[in-house]
Homo-oligomer: A and B are copies of this chain.
């Protein structure tokens, strides 16, 4: 009998992580082959990972649980990358912005397929939807705050409506990351980052620079 003090949860949690990673690898591969998460059945997933379906349901509540387990871990990594943007201020150059946005793209890029799967699953799985909405909400709120600060400090176009502009720009990035940056080779990202930088720079920061 295992002692009551030795928590039995930790072994199980570790096992869950191992299985999760094994499955995510399979899912990633199937996604790269052009299938959507909705089209991938648990049976298929589990079979290609060499595991029985019943084992899956030992560790995961349902199909979406796999993505939820992954999302929780990745979220902070993304948030850390994005936070570099908020350090842009009156003293920053366009190159500084480019570096900050490039970092976001580069951190996001390897996770694009699974991220897209998560946004896909959000369409029919309410608990995934909640996660996704929370993340987007947080990102939008951060950018809105940055815009407000920048307007107060005079380095962001004062004519922009902060909340709405934050919404448009944040969702723009979301689509870009999931739809057309996905699958690009790192070298091909350069021009995409150029375009992203140009849009953000021209929209937010350029108007008050050329004017000054």
Contact = CB atoms under 8 A, between A and B. Distances in A.
A202 interface: yes
Interface string A129-143: 000000000000000
Interface stretch (A8-16, A81-89, A166-174): A166-174
Contacts of A168: 172, 176, 195-196, 199
Copies in the complex: 2
Given A191-B164, A194-B164, A207-B206, A199 B124 contact: no
Contacts of A123: 36-38, 120, 123
Nearest to A193: B164
A91 interface: no
Interface in A98-152: 120, 123-124
A210 B207 CA distance: 8
Nearest to A200: B203
Interface of A: 36-39, 120, 123-124, 157, 159-161, 164-165, 167-169, 171-172, 174-176, 179-180, 191-192, 194-196, 198-199, 202-204, 206-207, 210-211
Nearest to A159: B198
Given A36-B123, A168-B176, A202-B202, 11 more contacts: A37-B123, A38-B123, A159-B198, A161-B191, A164-B195, A167-B180, A169-B199, A171-B180, A172-B175, A198-B203, A210-B210
Contacts of A175: 171-172, 174-175
A35 to B, nearest CB: 9
B194 A203 contact: no
Contact of A192 (B37, B164, B180, B194): B164
A175 B176 CA distance: 10
A176 B171 contact: yes
